[in-house]
Chain A
Amino acid sequence: AQSVAQPEDQVNVAEGNPLTVKCTYSVSGNPYLFWYVQYPNRGLQFLLKYITGDNLVKGSYGFEAEFNKSQTSFHLKKPSALVSDSALYFCASINTNAGKSTFGDGTTLTVKP
């Protein structure tokens, strides 16, 4: 069974400060993990993914994520937050055989000026 958990419904940070949006996973086999962002009244947009290789994955808009096998985590990070980063963020895992993505419940990020 595949599942991901986003323990925080809401994350608030000040513009210019680093941000972290947390995700933990529980998967059988190799984990394939993704981050997506959803702006209001829009579809989800892909940010980055971990399939294999380096534990630090770089993605769109200056975001990166660190895969940590021992902690079963895949936290999303950005060194300096922008107001325009305010959105809903989803962590997801994929069952590669079935092609089924399972999404976390989402974390609303608010960046204040």
Chain B
Amino acid sequence: DTAVSQTPKYLVTQMGNDKSIKCEQNLGHDTMYWYKQDSKKFLKIMFSYNNKELIINETVPNRFSPKSPDKAHLNLHINSLELGDSAVYFCASSQDQGTLNTGELFFGEGSRLTVL
């Protein structure tokens, strides 16, 4: 069974469209994340949720809206797509270690978004 799964794996769309990427983890972890990896392979955190509550919201345009219906799912919706949104988006999860969050990240396989 895949621990962190995201769909779709590939997404090609036109500028101005709205699209969603879904993520599910079956590890029972408390915290889920969205990361963006650009064409130079740099990784940047976008959002994190802990038990459905938004914890981290980096300086991401308002066009990006995460939604966590339960602690096993974290979806990413993107409105009015722009060329610069083309990237690989990774979902990840981690388990809190007591009161500290020192758990390693478990990543999905990525969703490659191409905006034309």
Chain A interfacial positions (CB closer than 8 Å to B): 32, 34, 36, 38, 41-46, 49, 51, 88, 90, 94, 96-103, 105-106
Known: A46-B105, A51-B102, A101-B105. A88 touches B45 (CB 8 A): no
Q: How large is the interface on B (under 10, 10 to 19, 20 to 34, 35 or more residues)?
A: 20 to 34
Partner among A41, A43, A49, A94 whose Cβ is within 8 Å of the Cβ of B101: A94
Main secondary structure of the interface of A (DSSP, over half): strand
B55 engages A94 (CB within 8 Å): no
- Between B4, B90, B104, B108, the greatest number of chain A beta carbons within 10 A of the residue's beta carbon is seen for B104
Q: How far is the CA of A46 from the CA of B42 in the complex (A)?
A: 17
> In chain B, what residue has the closest Cβ to A106?
B41
Known: A42-B109, A43-B107, A43-B108. A98 touches B55 (CB 8 A): yes
Chain B interfacial positions (CB closer than 8 Å to A): 4, 31, 40-45, 48, 50, 55-56, 90, 92, 94, 96, 100-102, 104-110
Residues in B neighbouring A45, C-beta threshold 8 A: 107
Known: A100-B45, A106-B41. A32 touches B102 (CB 8 A): yes
B45 engages A101 (CB within 8 Å): yes
Residues in B neighbouring A34, C-beta threshold 8 A: 104-105
B4 engages A43 (CB within 8 Å): yes
B102 engages A94 (CB within 8 Å): yes
> In chain B, what residue has the closest Cβ to A95?
B101
